């Protein structure tokens, strides 16, 4: 019980720290941002709100100014079930990439961030 309370409190501190120190979003031309929005339409991030690795990934999304659907795999049973059925395990963060009729599940925050950087950082 004590461990659960401690974990919850630390999670809330992480979320608060993120809110206070969030990076500025990348600025793009209206055409560039429209292209990012189109390309991001097939992406969704399965995450837990207070998970430090999820916070790290969401910070990168914010910095890159990429609007992605966030799926709460902790509190929403439908999202949790979809993550398990599609990705094969309940592990967050997990980026679901749906493009050209193909579905891909990308785990590990560093791999997700590298993918996002490669795909979106160069769009002006």
CA-to-CA dists, residue 45 to 2, 31, 108, 123, angstroms: 30, 24, 12, 21
Q: What is the pLDDT of residues 58-103, one digit of tens each?
A: 999 999 999 999 999 999 999 999 999 999 999 999 999 999 889 9
Q: Where are the domains of the chain?
A: 2-22+29-120
Residue-level pLDDT at 3: 72
Architecture category of domain 2-22+29-120 in CATH: 3-Layer(aba) Sandwich (3.40)
CA-to-CA dists, residue 7 to 13, 21, 52, 87, 117, angstroms: 10, 21, 11, 26, 30
Confidence of residue 16 (pLDDT cuts 50, 70, 90): confident
Over its C-alpha atoms, the chain yields an Rg (Å, rounded) of: 15
Confidence of residue 17 (pLDDT cuts 50, 70, 90): confident
pTM given for the model: 0.88
């Amino acid at each position: 019980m004590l461990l659960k309370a401690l974990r919850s409190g630390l999670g809330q501190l992480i979320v608060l720290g993120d809110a206070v120190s969030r990076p500025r979003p990348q600025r793009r031309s209206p055409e560039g941002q429209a292209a990012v929005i189109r390309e991001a339409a097939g992406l969704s991030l399965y995450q837990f709100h207070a998970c430090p690795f999820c916070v790290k990934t969401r910070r990168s999304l914010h910095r890159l100014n990429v609007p992605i659907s966030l799926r709460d795999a902790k509190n929403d049973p439908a999202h949790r079930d979809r993550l398990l059925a599609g990705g094969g395990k309940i592990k967050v963060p997990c980026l679901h990439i749906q493009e050209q009729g193909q579905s891909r599940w990308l785990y590990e925050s560093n791999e997700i961030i590298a993918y996002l950087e490669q795909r979106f950082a160069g769009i002006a």
